Amino acid sequence: MADFIFADDYRLEEGPTRYFYEEFLKGLVHKHNNLMGVIQGFSSLILYDDGISREVRESAQQMQDAAKTASDLNRDVLTSSGCSRCDSDSVSLDAVSPYWTSKAEEACNEAGVSLQVNFREGLPAIAGDPGMLGEVFTQLIKNAAQAAVGTPSSSVAIDAFPPGEASPGATVDLFIRNTSVEMNAESLKKSFIPFHTTKGAEHYGLGLTTAAVLAGQMNIRLGLRYADGTTTAWLAMPTA
């Protein structure tokens, strides 16, 4: 598996410095959300006035939409910067795989790409936070579905293997593969960089950053590889 590019640099160190920046960022986001709330409130008051011109209505609606987008971005920033709490628990993949499959179907249907899913039955439980594991999977599947759009065959495939079958060690290995444009090692590394995106301004560029940071918080290894028109994300998840 040496040809994978791993997001090991996104494992956040513990210590007082990290605590300071967590508190600083949480406070900054809180203050920013207060300002966005004021903008949303006043733009709503303007929109309630039936007598305003079309130009004023459009401007007020743009203000309101921008304020909501900023609030959504603030939420994603907190998660991608490691400010979300991750608890260690025993997670049954047999229990969560139906929900994960539904999220994959939703993302692929929205993108208009085909999907294949193969979760082996009887996989051992893994260690992690159930909610954050779901967030990591959701970010990876959304990225895969969006990246597959417009490529030949436009498809996504998911496979989960028990320990020892796909790699040595006591990890359950989850692979998410998508048809892809060519990506070199440098492009794969850039995929994890915060706010880096090749999908247009409507995307924040935080999906893979969020997945990398949350995976690191749960001692899960995340890697990316490109080969023969396919990009593969690999999650090596320790057993409980």
Paired tokens of 221: 């290894």
How far is residue 177's CA from residue 96's CA, in Å, rounded to a whole number?
A: 20
Domain match, 167 and 68 both:
no
- Express each pLDDT in 24-66 by its tens digit: 999 999 999 999 999 999 999 999 999 999 999 999 999 999 9
* H/E segment holding residue 222: strand 221-227
Residue 24 CB neighbour total at 10 angstroms: 10
Domain match, 129 and 190 both:
yes
Look up the CATH number of the domain holding residue 105.
3.30.565.10
Domain match, 109 and 22 both:
no
Q: Is residue 10 part of a domain?
A: no
Q: DSSP letter for 33, please.
A: H
SS3 175: strand
Average pLDDT of the residues of the chain: 92
What's the distance, CA 48 to chain centroid? 36
- Express each pLDDT in 192-223 by its tens digit: 998 887 776 666 788 999 999 999 999 999 99
Q: Is residue 11 part of a domain?
A: no
How far is residue 97's CA from residue 103's CA, in Å, rounded to a whole number?
A: 10
Domain match, 47 and 111 both:
no
Rounded to whole angstroms, what are the CA distances from 166 to 117, 131, 141, 161, 235? 16, 25, 20, 6, 11
CA dihedral (146, 150, 154, 159) in degrees, to 10, reads -30
Domain match, 74 and 120 both:
no
Residue 226 CB neighbour total at 10 angstroms: 19
Domain match, 39 and 156 both:
no
- Give the total number of structural domains in the chain: 2
Domain match, 55 and 103 both:
no
State residue 121's pLDDT score.
Answer: 85
Domain that includes residue 216, residue range: 87-238
Cβ proximity of 91 and 126 under 8 Å: yes
Domain match, 58 and 149 both:
no
Q: Is residue 1 part of a domain?
A: no
Domain match, 56 and 139 both:
no
Domain match, 176 and 205 both:
yes
Q: Is residue 5 part of a domain?
A: no
Cβ proximity of 97 and 130 under 8 Å: no
Domain match, 111 and 52 both:
no
